[in-house]
Structure 1
Amino acid sequence: MKILSIVGARPNFMKVAPLHRAFASREGLESKIIHTGQHYDARMSDVFFKQLELPEPDYFLGVGGGSHTQQTARTMLAFESVLQAEKPDAVLVVGDVNATLACALVAVKEHIPVVHVEAGLRSGDRRMPEEINRILTDSISDYLFVTEQAALDNLKAENVPDEKVFFVGNVMIDSLVHYREKARQLPLLSELGLEPESYVLMTMHRPANVDHVAGLRSILDLIKSTAAYRTVLFPIHPRTRNNMAQFGLQTELEAIPNLRLLEPQGYLEFLQLMENACLIITDSGGIQEETTCLKVPCLTFRDSTERPVTVELGTNFLLADLDPQTVHRHVVAILEGKMKTGTIPPLWDGQTAGRVAEILASSLQKK
């Protein structure tokens, strides 16, 4: 049985890596990786593939940037020929990027079963392109593997048949568990001259925060107020860096005392930085999950989250009013030791990929 696994952006790599290992270890399952190139930076993509011990992709579609419509259309056209050549038994998509929806659409039109890993997550905000991708992908998937109870509840509310839905845990945490010790061995902290828990780690990249002056100014205010208490490490996303320059804010950013701007980091490097931070401020989705597993306080600068378990059980705080002053109050409280310890959600145990492989091997064989 042949499964084509789709990666389109770096967060997908961390999810597909444990799945590929689990498939490859099972007799009778053939795993091939298709890289659409939705987000592609040769240096960073190569680093992620090497660190996650992924083989070279069997196909690289070279889709590149562009609008959401352009990316989706180019991916569909390129993937169609791959599907016709490979004739797989299933197409596996992860997360919520444009490549996820595009490849799922092509597969379902070719009557090939679609497997969605990380199904059922909902932010409730349809202004987010990712939310549309999640909803549409789930509506056409044959196997929906979910990470948390809220996802089960969402799919039930959308009348997805129970027999399609499987609560298996979180493959992102599989990678974290698998590579955590390897990340600890890196000399990065000493090279940066930092002690554990002596810094705040920040990431910001969502268009709602970085594609306009008001959002970028809020980020500058966040950094200034936080850097008054701790060193701020900011691995700056290319989109954020470019917009800071475009709106004439790059000089102001670089002049902030106690700020360390870094290039985007490899997976292992960033895992080490997360584990040793005293606090993380982010607008990312996956980081909310990783910090919950690491039990590091996380402030999410968004007005909604598709991962509510990270707030309900984990260490994540959702800053719904998007006010830098609110962030400042939380920063001070956390640095004073007023933080929730959190618990790791059910089945976030590093064994999720094995459960997915077992279910697919059994179900696809019956077909």
Structure 2
Amino acid sequence: MIHVFLGTKAQLIKMAPIMKMLQDQGVSYNFIHSGQHQETMNDILNDFSLPEPDSYVTTGSDIKEKIQVPKWAYLCEKRTRRSSECWAGRAKGSKDIVLVHGDTFSTLIGALAAKRMGFKCGHIESGLRSFNLFHPFPEELVRLSTFRLADIFYCPDDASVANLKGYDKKIVHTHGNTMLDATKLAARMASKSARSDFGIVSIHRYENIFRSARLEWIVDQVIQISRKQKILFIMHPPTEHRLRNAGLFKRLQAEQGIELRKRLSYFEFTGILAQAQFLVTDGGSNQEESSYIGLPCLVMRKSTERQEGIGRNVVLSNYSEERIRGFFDNLERYRSAPSNSHISPAKIIVDDLKPFY
């Protein structure tokens, strides 16, 4: 049997094409949700016509603060170790595989659970590296730990394949990220509106929102940008919480050039991306999406483990005001043609999973 173990919105978006393809082929799978993020998950499931999880390891509110992580992680570890309920009654040591994705705490918990059960572990989007333990943190540490636990690496590009050559494990080159499948599907479903005059800001990573000085600096930059370009600021719940606590939410609210929006469903977000002038983000998935549709994208980070769009439509800010000004002074230079790739990374993965059907 195939077990899909995930916990965040971004993971669901990238795993959805695999889950939908399995479903369309009549292949059953066990969908386990760690409970890390639960808000708006139903919107994504509805977008992709997928069923709700078969089981939740934890339930309750989203994990929005670092202080919540240890208790949540402990409960996840305890419940995946002592209870077989989430494994659909499968016996320990069965010839099953647990699919985990990316570099979140849910990734590591799922990989550890697979090892305890004696199942194989397949790591989707494997091999990405920033080669800096603190940028991003803790994602880079999660990746390194997951590499040691996983049995099959599903790698999106040549660089990620090369990064895993030292491990004596199966490597599958997927020739792209499953986000490509998700973006194509969302683009087909999204409305075909003309390009508008706004840009989008989406900030949510720990290294940005949990450092008060860094968050205030980013808000200053966004306000400066908004006085020349209209902005839709997408409010992730943890970001809004931190902005309000830091007294920065009202500053954004007071700016005429900024419209604050609640977090959107995936298809809604893809729809407005297709209309936007630019994207300012710290999300790796957003970087990938922008590269596929050719949208000018400024990544508000010091480093990125992803190569999509770099040197073409994506600029890494390195928290440099000079780079930010250069990006906005040359926006059209960073607009590129949408991807016309016919490769389906999800199909490559699903085909490789046939021994576990």
- Confirm or deny: 8 A CA contact 1:202 1:233 kept in the other structure: yes
Q: Is the aligned partner of 1:324 residue 2:321?
A: yes
Name the residue aligned to 1:338. 333
Counterpart amino acid of residue 351 in structure 1: S
Question: How far did 1:24 drift?
Answer: 2.6
Query: Which one has a larger percent helix, Structure 1 or Structure 2?
Result: 1
Aligned to 2:50: 54
Corresponding residue to 1:129 among 117, 135, 138: 138
Q: Deviations over 1:98-143 (max 9, x none)?
A: 1111011111122210011100011223121111111111211111
Tell me the alpha carbon deviations over residues 168-223 of structure 1, each in whole angstroms, 9 at most, x when there is no partner. Answer: 121111111122121126xxx7xxxxx61411111111121112331122222221
Indicate conservation of the 8 Å contact 2:17/2:181, yes or no.
yes
Structure 1 moving runs of 4+ over 4 Å = 342-345
Matches within 5 A, 1:261-276: 261-276=260-275
Structure 1 residue runs without a partner (length 5+):
190-194
Aligned equivalent of 1:353, options 331, 346, 349: 346
**Take 1:226 and 1:54, find their aligned partners in 2: how far apart are those partners?**
39
Paired position in structure 1 for 2:185: 178
Structure 2 partner of 1:70: 71
Number of the residue aligned with 2:90: 86
Partner SS state of residue 184, structure 1? coil
Whole-angstrom CA distance in 2 between matches of 1:129 and 1:212: 14
| Correspondence for 2:28 | 30
Number of matched pairs:
343
- Asked whether the 8 Å contact 2:295–2:335 carries over to 1, the reply is no
Q: If the length of structure 2 is used for normalisation, what is the TM-score?
A: 0.89
Contact in 2 for aligned 1:73/1:102 (Cα 8 Å): no
Provide the C-alpha distance between the structure 1 equivalents of 2:8 and 2:335, rounded to a whole number of angstroms.
32
1:144 is aligned to: 153
Equivalent residue number for residue 10 of structure 1 = 9
Coordinate RMSD, CA, aligned: 2.1
Q: What residue in structure 2 maps to residue 100 of structure 1?
A: 107
Letter in 2 for 1:39: H
Contact 1:171 1:350 in 2 (8 A): no
Amino acid corresponding to residue 349 of structure 2 in structure 1? V
Distance, in Å, in 1 between the alignment partners of 2:43 and 2:348 is 28
Deviation at 1:342, TM superposition (A): 6.7
CA contact (8 A) 1:173 1:349 kept: no
- Report what 1:277 is aligned to: 276
Match of 1:119 in 2: 126
What is the distance in 2 between the residues matched to 1:70 and 1:123? Answer: 28
Cα distance in structure 2, aligned partners of 1:340 and 1:21: 31
Contact 1:115–1:141 (Cα < 8 Å) also in 2: yes
Q: Deviations over 1:280-313 (max 9, x none)?
A: 010011011110000111110101101024315x
Separation of aligned partners in 2, 1:344 and 1:71: 39
Note closer, same or farther for the CA distance 1:273–1:340 as it changes in structure 2 (3 Å cut).
closer
> How many Å separate the matches in 2 of 1:283 and 1:330?
15
Instruction: Give 1:328 shift.
Output: 2.4
Paired amino acid for 2:55: Y
AA partner of residue 77 (structure 1): K
CA distance in 2: counterparts of 1:238 and 1:151, whole angstroms: 32
Q: TM-score when scaled to structure 1?
A: 0.87
Give structure 2 stretches of 5+ with no counterpart.
none
Contact 2:30 2:87 in 1 (8 A): no
Q: How far has the Cα of 1:55 moved from its partner? A: 0.4
Alignment of 1:184-195 (within 5 A): 184=191
Matched, 1:21 2:15: no
1:192 corresponds to: none
Asked if 2 retains the 8 angstrom alpha-carbon contact of 1:148 and 1:309, the reply is no
What is the distance in 2 between the residues matched to 1:133 and 1:72?
A: 13
Distance 1:84 1:60 in 2: 12
Describe the SS at the equivalent of 1:257: coil
Q: Where does residue 41 of structure 2 map in the other structure?
A: 45
1:269 is aligned with what amino acid? Answer: E
CA distance in 1, matches of 2:199, 2:214: 20
Percent identity over the alignment is: 25
Per the alignment, in what secondary structure is the counterpart of residue 30 of structure 2? strand
The residue type equivalent to 1:99 in the other structure is S
Please give the alpha-carbon distance, in whole angstroms, between the structure 2 residues aligned to 1:56 and 1:145.
25
Q: Please state how far the C-alpha of 1:361 moved relative to its aligned partner.
A: 0.6
1:282-321 equivalences in 2 (<5 Å) = 282-312=281-311, 314-320=312-318
The equivalent of 2:171 in structure 1 is 165
Q: CA deviation at 1:350?
A: 5.6
Aligned pair in 2 of structure 1 residues 340, 200: CA closer, same or farther (>3 Å)? closer
Partners of 2:7 and 2:36 within 8 A in 1: yes
Which amino acid counterpart does residue 278 of structure 1 have in structure 2?
Answer: Q
Paired with 2:58 and 2:72, the residues of 1 have a C-alpha distance of: 10
Paired residue type of 1:146: C
Kindly tell me: are residues 309 and 149 of structure 1, through their superposed partners in 2, closer, same or farther at Cα, counting changes over 3 Å? farther
For 2:106 and 2:304, the matched residues in 1 are separated by: 21
Provide the rounded CA distance (Å) in 2 between the counterparts of 1:264 and 1:56: 20
The answer to whether the Cα contact below 8 Å between 1:174 and 1:349 also exists between their aligned partners in 2 is no
Q: For 1:253-305, what per-residue CA distance to the aligned partner results, in whole angstroms no more than 9, with x for missing partners? A: 21112101000000111001111111101001101111000011111010110
